[in-house]
Amino acid sequence: MQDLQSAKQLVQAFHANLEVPDADPADVLRTHCAETLTWHGFHPFNEIKGPENVARAFWKPLGRSLTSLQRRQDIFFAGHSEIGGFAETWVVSMGHLMGLFDAPLAGIPPTGKIAMLRYCEFHRVAEGRIAETAMFFDLPHLMEQAGLHPFPGQTAQHLVQPGPRSHDGLLFAPQPAREGETTLALINSMIANLGQWNSGLSLEDELRLDWAENMLWWGPTGIGATYTIPRYAQQHSGPFRAAFSERSKTSHVARLAEGHYAGFFGWPNFSARLTGPFMGLPATGETGEFRVIDIYRREGDKIAENWIFIDLLHFWKGQGVDILAQLPQNDPA
């Protein structure tokens, strides 16, 4: 099992080398990643195998699109994943990738102006190399910055999202083991209480079991951010539950905590059938899968903040709605 501090140092070096001027991403990935690297990215990048392929398909196009690329990191922590019995070591990074939007990315037209792409990544470190990565990024957020509005029915607020209110999310130093255990136990309680939508409590009282009254929920573009339990219930959780049925059980690839921070991701997290309108689009009756990353900050014995990344482009494509194909430059008219 990889030591947490050495795993953090590996990922920090990887990040730093990606930002070296004129660095070749393929060289950087070959240096820091295993030859058998598996990379999970949002649609249209999806799953990629091997460092060179990841560099060619994602990092090089990203660098051409967002020039003078800079990582603005808000949360950084590591842990041994509960999934699989704490045998795997993962390092988590979350924030924005910032640059000058000078060339199209995934068909999104450039602005020539500063742009910030929300991201969160999980890196599994084994034998001194990054062996697996989940790299999630909010492309609809970039669309909004380009003046496009792919989801007309957003129920909460679109924002360039800040880091933790406590400004303590960069856990470069070791953290007390007990704090991470407490945080992970709270996240597991929340999953058990919210995961199946059948507690018998009101939605607000169900949330109050694990969430602070003034919780902050930093959702993806297309859904938006919301604040306090009542507004979260009104602006996201309630509409989401009303739109879906036949929700599957939650399934995670990794779930870990360090200090007051925790996170998980699934590929997919769960599936559900769209039986009502969602995000301004009509019901399809089809089952779709949700690729999700959740990052949490614990304050005392409650969850105070939650940052969420959902591959909405993948979900809607599975429903027969190809958002990227509808972008202006892809319109044959």
3-state class (DSSP) for residue 204: helix
Cis amide bond preceding 44, omega within 30: yes
Distances in Å between the alpha carbon of 199 and those of 202, 216, 332? 8, 22, 49
**Is-same-fold flag (4-145; 177-324)?**
yes
Phi, psi of 62 (to 5 degrees): -65, -45
Domain positions in the chain are: 4-145, 177-324
What pLDDT, on a 0 to 100 scale, did the predictor assign at position 201?
Answer: 87
3-state class (DSSP) for residue 20: coil
Given a cut of 70, is residue 207 above it in pLDDT? Answer: yes
Give the mean pLDDT of 6-32.
97
What pLDDT, on a 0 to 100 scale, did the predictor assign at position 330?
Answer: 47
What pLDDT, on a 0 to 100 scale, did the predictor assign at position 172?
Answer: 98
Q: Which fold has domain 4-145?
A: Nuclear Transport Factor 2; Chain: A, (3.10.450)
State the pairing for strand pair 114-126/129-137. antiparallel
- Average model confidence (pLDDT) for the chain? 94
What pLDDT, on a 0 to 100 scale, did the predictor assign at position 239?
Answer: 94
Element (H, E) at 240: helix 238-243
pLDDT in tens, 97-108: 999 999 999 999
pLDDT in tens, 239-258: 999 999 998 988 999 999 99
Nearest residue to 106 via CA among 322, 333, 332: 322
Radius of gyration of the chain, Cα coordinates, nearest whole angstrom? 19
Cis amide bond preceding 268, omega within 30: yes
Lowest mean pLDDT among 124-128, 151-155, 317-321: 151-155
SS3 content of the chain, % helix, strand, coil (to 5): 30, 35, 35
Residues 295/310, Cβ–Cβ less than 8 Å: no
177-324 CATH pick, 3.10.450.50, 3.20.20.140, 3.30.70.270, 3.30.70.100: 3.10.450.50
pLDDT in tens, 128-184: 999 999 999 999 999 999 999 888 888 877 778 999 999 999 999 999 999 999 999
Residues whose CB is less than 8 angstroms from the CB of residue 122 and which lie 6 or more positions away in sequence, other chains included: 90, 91, 92, 133, 134, 253, 254, 263, 265, 293
